[in-house]
Structure 1
C-alpha cells in the first residue's frame, strides 16, 4: 500500500507541476485578505495584530484549498481513469491517500508562502510553533480533501458538488472566527461557534502564533481535527473501494 500510495502521489504531483498556476490561484484569496484587509486591523482595538489574523487566513486556506479537490476526481471519472484502475492490483486505499498527500503538500507550500509574505508586515512566530501549526493544517487538509473525494464519488456531478460544498463550508467559515475574533460577537453566536470544530482550530493556531504551544486549545484542536480526519479518510476510502471493484 505504501508503494502504491507513493506512485499515486508522484503521478498527482506531476499533474500539478505541469500546471502550477493552481498553486498560486489557491493562495490569491487569502493574499488579498492579507494585503487589503489586514491593514484595517491596526485601527480596530481588541482584534489583535497579524499574529491573530494570519492564523485565521491559514485555516481559511486549508478549508477552501482542500474542500474543492473533488472536482478533479469527477473529471477523472468522466475520462475513465478510475474505471481503468479496476484491472490493476493497485490498493484502493492508496488511490485516496496518494491524492490526499498531494493536496496536503500543495496546501503546506501555499501556507509557507503566505507566512513568508506576512513577515514584513510584522508577523513574528517561532519555528517550532509554526511547525505545530503546519501539522494541524495538514490534518485539516486531509479531512477536507478526503471528504471532498468521498462526496464527489457519491454525486459524480459538478453541478451537484458545487452547491453542496458551498452550503457546508460557508457556515463553517463564518462560525470559526477566521476574519474577526468571535469574542466580539453576541453570546448566542459564540455558543453556536463552540460546536464548530474549526473555531477550536482557529483558536489553537492563534495560540501557537502568539507563542503559547502549551495552551489547552492547541491539544484539544489537534485531537478534534485528527479524529475527524481519520473518520473522513476511512469513509472516503470505503467509497473508493465501492466505486472500483
Structure 2
C-alpha cells in the first residue's frame, strides 16, 4: 500500500512540479488579507490574525481539491484505475498527501511573509502550527475528494462548497473574534469544530491550551479520512 500511495502521490505532484504557478495563485487571497486587512488590527494583532489566516488557507486550499478529480472521472481515468491492483485507499491518500505538501509550503510562505509585517514565532511554534494546519488539510481534503466522487459535476460540487465552507469559516472566528458578537452567535460557533482548531492555532503562537483544538482536529481527520476511504471503496467497487 505504501508503494501505491507513493505512486499516486508522485502522479498527483507532476502537474504542480511542471507548473508551480498553482502555488502562487493559492497564495493570492491570503496575501491580500495579510497586506490589506492585517494592518487594521495594529501591531499587536498579528499574533491573533496570522494563525486564523493559516486555518483559512487550509480550509479553502483543500476544500476545492476535489475539482481536480472531476476531469479524471469524465476522461475515464478512474475507470481504468479500478481494473489495476492499485489500492483504493492509495487513490485517496496519495492525492491528499499532495494537497498536504502544497498546503504546508503555502502556509510556510505566509508565515515568512507575515514576519515582514511584525508577526513573531519561534521555529518550534512554526512547526507545530504547520502540523496542525496539515492535519486540518488532510481531513478537509479527504471529504472534498469523496464529495467530488459522489456528485461528479462541477456545478453541483461548487454549490455544495459554497453552501458549507463560507458558513464554517465565518463561525470559526478566523477574521473576527466570535466573543464580540451576541451570546447566541458565540455558542453557535462553539458547535463548529473549526473554531476550536482556530483557537488552538492561535494558542500555539501565544499562550493558552491547545488540547481541545487537537481533539477537534484529530476527530476531523478520523471522520474525514474514514468517509473518504469508504466512498472510494464503494464507488470503485
Q: Judge same fold: TM > 0.5, yes or no.
A: yes
Uncovered stretches (5+) of structure 1, i.e. residues with no partner: none
Alpha-carbon displacement from aligned partner over 1:40-95 (angstroms, at most 9, x marks no partner)? 1129xxxx510100001000000000001111101110111111112210000000
SS of the residue 1:133 aligns to:
helix
- RMSD over aligned CA atoms reads 1.2
Q: Does 1:223 align with 2:215?
A: yes
> What is the distance in 2 between the residues matched to 1:34 and 1:131?
20
Moved over 6 A (4+): none
Alpha-carbon displacement from aligned partner over 1:159-218 (angstroms, at most 9, x marks no partner)? 1000111100111111111111112212111110100111111111111111x3xx33x1
* Of 148, 152, 155, the match for 1:152: 148
> What is the distance in 2 between the residues matched to 1:168 and 1:63?
11
Aligned residues: 237
CA contact (8 A) 2:69 2:145 kept: yes
Aligned to 2:69: 73
Shift of 1:156: 0.5
SS of the residue 2:191 aligns to:
coil
Uncovered stretches (5+) of structure 2, i.e. residues with no partner: none
Shift of 1:243: 1.9
Aligned to 2:90: 94
User: What is the TM-score with the length of structure 2 in the denominator?
Assistant: 0.97
Deviates more, 1:13-22 or 1:151-160: 13-22
> What is the distance in 2 between the residues matched to 1:16 and 1:83?
23
Within 5 Å, give how 1:115-154 maps onto structure 2.
Answer: 115-154=111-150
Shift of 1:14: 1.0
Shift of 1:223: 1.4
> What is the distance in 2 between the residues matched to 1:24 and 1:166?
23
